[in-house]
Structure 1
């Protein structure tokens, strides 16, 4: 009877040891699958970060190109507007000078100033711009008067509008430059935050397999101690 009980106890201990080894072998593939899943996720995150960096660099290049093109276009537009305005001012001055010359080109003769000269009832004044003669009863009276000054109201208004347009273009250019700089700073900040998160994730993942290895070694040592 004692021999049978000993054999029964030996078989029971063998079955327990076998079941423990089976559990330990089942746990190892699970840990390996977890590690492979983490590695695949790390690879996906790394690829997505690389794509994000490429996109950010491409956008920065486009922003720089847009800034250069916009600055060149604004310079050309300002130059064209200045050239057109200068040409208009020159044309207006030529027209005004020609109109003044046409008004002064007609000369008067002494016979035109006489009472009976020319058409009946027609009186002519001398050509002096600083004097005004009035004929009353055969005697001429002289009155001094001031010549009206030439006014360039329209020209000054156009010059003012031109200066205002140049100031508006300059302010728009400064505003666009400020917005572009802010956008570049935001993208650089986003890239820095992404790299930092990626570094933290790598550190956490590098610590996770070491913990899993320690736990598996502890399980193996426990099983060996029990056996």
Structure 2
């Protein structure tokens, strides 16, 4: 009887040990798995492009709502100071963007699986002309024709590092996304959020070093 009890206890001990090892490796692999955060444009609205609005005064603001999410299930993230966003307009059949505004954010910590929203009115230096055809410049005229064909572009530059013991490497992020705006409502086309993806822009960092605009009513939630 003693031998049988000993063999049963030994079998349970080995099973428990194997289970602990498996659980350890699962958590270790999750802990060591590192994902860069995702940034999405959830809302984008250009009031002066809204042809149904009653106001005829020039409005050079853009409303934007961005979501920054830490995709790591068990690892926190540090967004290092400074972080920069750039808003520009790319006319149709052209590759060169017209810079409209930049804004910066202070660095912050984001817990595992958490998301933050950055939203508010951004004052631009002037929007693509909505006035008489064939003119260059910004919308200093009343709305008489639809906005010029093209897309808005949102660029992001920053660095992040993971909250890991003994790990201090900073990872640069250069992301961008094109946003199509409805020419009658001024609202982003489509209900789905637009994800910023890796960008190959080489001069973006230099452009953003001196942000000339601020985000009015910005909320960091």
Query: By the TM > 0.5 criterion, same fold?
Result: no
Task: Give the TM-score normalised by the residue count of structure 1.
Answer: 0.26
Task: Give the TM-score normalised by the residue count of structure 2.
Answer: 0.27
- Is the radius of gyration larger for structure 1 or structure 2? 1
Report which of the two has the higher share of helix.
Answer: 1
